Amino acid sequence: MKSGFVAILSLSMLLAAVYRRVPLSVARWHRHINLCLPHRGTDLRTVDWRKFGPRGSITTETACAAAGVFYPQLFGRMVHVHPWAKSPAQVWAH
């Protein structure tokens, strides 16, 4: 089981300030963009997750219109941290 946390920073924060928090030499900051998520109330057990979410194939507002709700960007910049991992590469793995 993976355990850890995600650090999320405001979109208004300048990149230089973001990189001072956790430098790019340590971890890769990223954003979740162009997401289509199922309509609220959809039974999530029936969703074809190959189409929806961060790894989904629906990545435009037009394609998402009939299938769900489009988000140009969800959250701010983020980095994943797994503090109990056995190697530094695993600590900062996405």
Burial profile 7-37: b = 16 or more Cβ within 10 angstroms, e = fewer? eebeeeeeeeebeeebeeeebebeeeebbbb
Q: How many CA atoms lie within 13 A of 49 on its CB side?
A: 6
Which pLDDT score is estimated for 2? 58
Could you list the mean pLDDT of each consecutive 10-residue stretch along the chain, which spans 94 residues? Answer: 68 82 81 93 95 94 95 87 83 76
Which pLDDT score is estimated for 1? 43
Which sequence spans correspond to the domains of the chain?
5-91
Which pLDDT score is estimated for 13? 81
DSSP string, 71-92: EEEEEEEEEEE-TT-SSHHHHT
As given in the structure block, the two tokens for residue 82 are 């797994």
What Rg value do the Cα atoms of the chain yield, rounded? Answer: 16
In what order do the strands lie in the sheet containing 30-38? 5-9, 68-81, 30-38
Which pLDDT score is estimated for 41? 94
Which pLDDT score is estimated for 11? 77
